Amino acid sequence: MKKIITMLALSLFAATAAFAAEGKVISVADGQAVLEMGTDAKLKKGAGVKLNGKAGKVTAVEGTKVTIKAGNTADLKAGDTVKVDKAAAMQGC
């Protein structure tokens, strides 16, 4: 029974940890931040994300550059490193 619980906990942790990625801010304007992300980010236009813990939405993806509209972009400046998490699809179930 302990093995099952341990495996379940580890798989849950791996699933949530896989959604986080870091990026570098290229520019900020009009409530949107353009980020340089790695190829492993795999974000799509329209995806819900969290930018440094605040809710946002991907508005454009062009190669490794991702544009995110979020409420906390005024706090960012070019060169900052930010954390981007994919927002959970089902919350409050």
Read off the pLDDT of residues 77-90 as tens digits, 9 standing for 90 and up. Answer: 999 999 998 876 54
**For residue 42, what are the domain limits?**
20-86
DSSP state letters, 1-53? -HHHHHHHHHHHHHHHHTTEEEEEEEEEETTEEEEEE-TT----TT-EEEETT
Residue 27, in any domain of the structure: yes
Q: Note the pTM of the prediction, 2 decimals.
A: 0.72
> Within a domain: residue 78?
yes
What tens digit of pLDDT does each residue of 5-41 get?
776 666 655 554 446 789 999 999 999 999 999 877 7
41 domain residue, yes or no? yes
Give the CATH number for residue 24.
Answer: 2.40.30.20
Cα–Cα distance for residue pair 15/24, rounded to 1 Å: 24
Please check whether residue 92 lies inside any domain of the structure.
no
In a domain, 10, yes or no: no
Residue pair 20/84 in contact by the 8 Å Cβ criterion: yes
Average pLDDT, integer, range 67-84: 92
